[in-house]
Amino acid sequence: MSKKTNKYTVSVYTEDSVGLLNRISAIFQRRHINIESFNSSMTEIESVQRWTILILTTEVQIKKIVGQINKQIEVIKAYYHTDEETIYQESCLFKIKSSLLFDDRQIQNIIKESNALIVTVNPEFFVIEKSGRTHELDELYEKLSNYGILQYVRSARIAVTKAPLMISEILTDFKKNKNE
Amino acid sequence: MSKISGSEAVIKCLLEEGVDIIYGYPGGAIMPVYDELYKYQDKIQHVLTRHEQGATHSAQGFARISGRVGVAIATSGPGATNLVTGIADAQIDSTPMVCITGQVGSHLLGSDAFQETDIIGISTPITKWNYQITKASEIPEIFAKAFYIAKSGRPGPVLIDITKDAQFEEFNFSYKRINGIRSYKPTPIINMDQIKKAADLINKAEKPLIVWGQGVILGNAEKEFTDLIEKSGIPAAWTILGASAIPTDHSLNVGMLGMHGNYAPNVLTNECDVLIAIGMRFDDRVTGDVNRYAKQAKIIHFEIDPAEVNKNIEVDIPVLGDAKETLSKIIPLIDKKSYKNWLDQFKKLYKIEYDKVIDGELNPSKKGLTMGEVIKEINFQTKGNAAIVSDVGQHQMVACRYANFNKSKSNITSGGLGTMGFALPAAIGAKMASPEREVVAVIGDGGYQMTIQELGTVFQTKAAVKIVVLNNDFLGMVRQWQQLFFDKRYASTEMVNPDFVKIAEGYYLKAKRVTERKDLANAVEEMIKSDEPYFLEVVVEKEGNVFPMIPTGSSVSEIRLS
């Protein structure tokens, strides 16, 4: 297996449990691996949470880490995927001085071309939102940073996988085995 | 249904799980539970250790010798933090244990209240599972989960923290044991294809070697394991936690693996063509340099914990599952064979080790007593039927190397964590779990003084443990490394020791010191014959070294005999 560092999206299906995050983050901390971004959300299954964790590491490491995540009691199942194996999005907000919108028409073109949305405009500032893949957000940031950005914030990555994950099946199997 | 308090519910839960002995130390935030323990003292024995760390090690010793879940209990704050070493030890050595801690009232959580500590946060990375109870109604389900998690699959420690208000709160109690948690897969489903592939590879092997660990013991797979080696004729070597799964004198038992293990299995690990690992995790003390570990061999790994597969060593055929099940499934597929020439290689290397190391250790002619001759005498007096509880250091390696075991679950030692101070309290727990067995604690003068206060527990409980301190007035293992790798700069390893016999006598224990070879046999005999606890100090040579040795960073085949 290659020692090359790569971006991995780790998807963890969990029970809704206080303290589990601590347990999972300790697994990364022990190996000195930074979490690039982290998102926790509800899922298509009631009372099941999904964590999406973006990690930069080698495949050798990520395999071991996901193995150790999987053995935590409240983890239903954890997976790792490369960018190619997922459909992912991130989103970001830019707060920019309103005067710039009128002083420099070029900004309007940038917004239009990037498919960003204007969330709000008031006399002092306006806020635009952009969702997309990492590089698309990077490009927009690059362009707008020339004009001065008052505030910039970016969300964690969220991702769905191209392949099915079968979480419902895992949970149904458990129920079936228990009833047998 | 009448209501009961949370603290009484705790006791009822323990009774439901078959607990009849717990180890602990009272304090403010756990007092309601202690009050109930007082009422239920005819059903549950509480052993007052002299330090909470002792409670955890006693619970571990109890679990390791009996296979049952050990229970330790302490108060909040320092009581809870004092459990940490034992919990970490149980985690890395897969010991089933439930720890119960009191916690400040739930209205005070997070406020830095008196004796408040975030024991959930602290214990998270060293527990298999932990949970903070803030409502009495949670107690039955959480205890049922805790015991199930602690003992199922790969066992481990669980901690339950209970706020004081939850201990007082009253509720309608009912208890149901559980046998499953939907997000938890304790035992992987067996894949017969992998078993067939493994069997094919084993049957074709010309120089196969089995290396086994504690998984054989934890899985109660001693019989299946014995059947496998006897049918296949394959020589088998053990990790220190795997020791005693088969008798020491079994003809296919080729000895101890790893840093201070036997010469033959270490050297031949790098010559075998198929390496069959069973219930072991390729710890670095076993593998030496992983980049030069069994590179020539195909590796099969029988393992219950999928996270252990390919963690330290890349394997060719993983066989996931509980050892008892996987081994019983593979045995019918294994050809009956014997490997005379291959076994002769082990014998040849054993002879070299015997001449260069073992003979001098067990039958010394030099003046000072060796640790090995003490173990040999214990073997002789106990006929190999004792459980040996060792601490950490040179004496531990000597005890593991030379102790004779006839019975499984007889080598109780701190393997993964290497916790000095483990042996005395662990021996107490082991003796209480198996009073019919001879339990001999073998401890160095350093580790002994880390939990020496547990002599008080020995005295109070009259647990008839036999305590042997091998005293060289040094932290011997560290000194050995200083000698070999730090030009004999003995930084802070020499100990000025107290009169250990007087200390033991201060606790009203029978005690003796031996300094001469001629007195050793009689002293060990007197100790073993004693029905009471007994303390024996043996003054051994000051600068003895444990060999063989695989220096850090070396390959198993570079094991040194001197």
Report domain extents, chain B: 3-172, 192-346, 367-539
Cis ω on the peptide bond leading into residue B548 (within 30° of 0)? yes
A22 CB neighbours in chain B (<8 A) are 121, 124
Mean pLDDT over all residues of chain B? 98
Instruction: Please say if B460 is a catalytic residue.
Output: no
Instruction: Please say if B436 is a catalytic residue.
Output: no
pLDDT of residue B547: 97
Q: Is the pLDDT of residue B74 over 60?
A: yes
A64 CB neighbours in chain B (<8 A) are 307, 310-311
B307 CB neighbours in chain A (<8 A) are 64, 67-68, 70-71
* Helix (H), strand (E) at residue B83: none
| Distance from C-alpha of B527 to C-alpha of B535, rounded to nearest angstrom | 8
- Judge contact between B379 and B550, C-beta under 8 A: no
Domain boundaries, chain A: 5-81, 89-154
Gyration radius from chain B CA atoms: 24
pLDDT tens digits, B307-361: 999 999 999 999 999 999 999 999 999 999 999 999 999 999 999 999 999 999 9
| Distance from C-alpha of B141 to C-alpha of B174, rounded to nearest angstrom | 9
Cis ω on the peptide bond leading into residue B155 (within 30° of 0)? no
CB atoms A74 and B183 under 8 Å = yes
Q: In the beta sheet, which residues pair with residue A53? A: A10, A38
Query: For domain A89-154, which CATH number applies: 3.40.50.300, 1.10.10.60, 3.30.70.1150, 3.40.1190.20?
Result: 3.30.70.1150
Tell me if B3-172 shares its fold with B192-346. yes
Q: Can you tell me which residue has the tokens 């509800």?
A: A42
pLDDT of residue A41: 96
- Judge contact between B457 and B429, C-beta under 8 A: no
CB atoms B124 and A22 under 8 Å = yes
Q: What is the mean pLDDT of residues B80-87?
A: 98
Cα separations (Å) of B545 from A63, B236, B255, B542?
40, 26, 19, 9
Q: Can you tell me which residue has the tokens 């992983």?
A: B290
Q: At what angle do helices B31-39 and B6-16 cross, to 10 degrees?
A: 60
Q: What is the mean pLDDT of residues B97-123?
A: 97
CB atoms B310 and A171 under 8 Å = no
pLDDT of residue B218: 98
Q: Which residues of A94-119 are buried (b: 16+ CB within 10 A; e: fewer)?
A: bbbeeebbeeeeebeebbeebebeee
pLDDT tens digits, B178-197: 999 999 999 999 999 999 99
pLDDT tens digits, A65-95: 999 999 999 999 999 999 999 999 999 999 9
pLDDT of residue A149: 95
B184 in contact with chain A, both atoms CB, cutoff 8 A: yes
A71 in contact with chain B, both atoms CB, cutoff 8 A: yes
pLDDT of residue B27: 98
| Confidence class for position B1, pLDDT limits 50, 70, 90 | low
Instruction: Please say if B115 is a catalytic residue.
Output: yes
Identify the CA nearest to B380 among candidates B235, B502, B483, B521.
B521
A49 in contact with chain B, both atoms CB, cutoff 8 A: no
CB atoms B180 and A178 under 8 Å = yes
CB atoms A74 and B121 under 8 Å = no
Between B1 and B176, the higher pLDDT residue = B176
| Confidence class for position B109, pLDDT limits 50, 70, 90 | very high
Identify the CA nearest to B22 among candidates B312, B433, B315, B374.
B433
pLDDT tens digits, A143-154: 999 889 999 999
pLDDT tens digits, B363-414: 999 999 999 999 999 999 999 999 999 999 999 999 999 999 999 999 999 9
CB atoms B307 and A19 under 8 Å = no
pLDDT of residue B443: 98
| Distance from C-alpha of B485 to C-alpha of B174, rounded to nearest angstrom | 61
CB atoms B124 and A26 under 8 Å = yes
Instruction: Please say if B512 is a catalytic residue.
Output: no
Phi/psi of residue B191, nearest 5 degrees: -105, 110
H-state helical runs in B371-530: 371-382, 394-402, 423-433, 445-448, 455-461, 476-485, 500-506, 517-529
Cβ–Cβ contacts within 10 Å for residue B541, how many?
15
Instruction: Please say if B114 is a catalytic residue.
Output: yes
- Judge contact between B71 and B19, C-beta under 8 A: yes
Catalytic one of B397, B477, B527, B549: B477
Q: Is the pLDDT of residue A180 over 70?
A: no
Amino acid symbol at B497: N
CB atoms A67 and B149 under 8 Å = no
pLDDT of residue A2: 61
pLDDT of residue B228: 98
Q: Is the pLDDT of residue A1 over 80?
A: no
Q: Which fold has domain B192-346?
A: Rossmann fold (3.40.50)
| Distance from C-alpha of A20 to C-alpha of B130, rounded to nearest angstrom | 10
pLDDT of residue A101: 82
| Confidence class for position A174, pLDDT limits 50, 70, 90 | confident
| Distance from C-alpha of B272 to C-alpha of B206, rounded to nearest angstrom | 8
Q: Is the pLDDT of residue B261 over 80?
A: yes
Tell me if A5-81 shares its fold with A89-154. yes
Q: Which B residues, 119 through 148, put their C-beta within 8 Å of a C-beta on chain A?
A: 120-121, 124-125, 128-132
A30 in contact with chain B, both atoms CB, cutoff 8 A: yes
A63 in contact with chain B, both atoms CB, cutoff 8 A: yes
Which residue on chain A is closest to B178 by alpha carbon?
A: A178
Q: Is the pLDDT of residue B538 over 90?
A: yes
B124 CB neighbours in chain A (<8 A) are 19, 22-23, 26
A23 CB neighbours in chain B (<8 A) are 124-125
B454 Cβ contact list (under 8 Å, min separation 6): B49, B50, B51, B54, B58, B424, B425, B428
Residue from the list B121, B128, B180 with its beta carbon closest to the beta carbon of A174? B180
End-to-end CA, chain B: 71
Q: What is the mean pLDDT of residues B16-34?
A: 98
Q: Which fold has domain A5-81?
A: Alpha-Beta Plaits (3.30.70)
How much is the ipTM here?
0.92
Identify the CA nearest to B434 among candidates B455, B416, B412.
B412
Catalytic one of B151, B164, B431, B466: B164
pLDDT of residue B459: 98
The torsion defined by the Cα of A114, A120, A123 and A126, in degrees rounded to 10, comes to: -40
Amino acid symbol at A20: L
Q: Percentage of residues in chain B with pLDDT exceeding 90?
A: 99
Q: Is the pLDDT of residue A40 over 90?
A: yes
pLDDT of residue B48: 98
Helix, strand, coil % over all residues of chain A, rounded to 5? 35, 40, 25
Superfamily designation of domain B3-172 = Thiamin diphosphate (ThDP)-binding fold, Pyr/PP domains (3.40.50.970)
Amino acid symbol at A146: N
A18 CB neighbours in chain B (<8 A) are 132
pLDDT of residue A175: 79
Structural class in CATH, domain B367-539: alpha beta
Catalytic one of B3, B39, B114, B532: B114
For B167, the token pair is 């201990």
B207 in contact with chain A, both atoms CB, cutoff 8 A: no
For A173, the token pair is 């199997």
How distant is the Cα of B129 from the closest Cα of chain A, in angstroms? Answer: 7
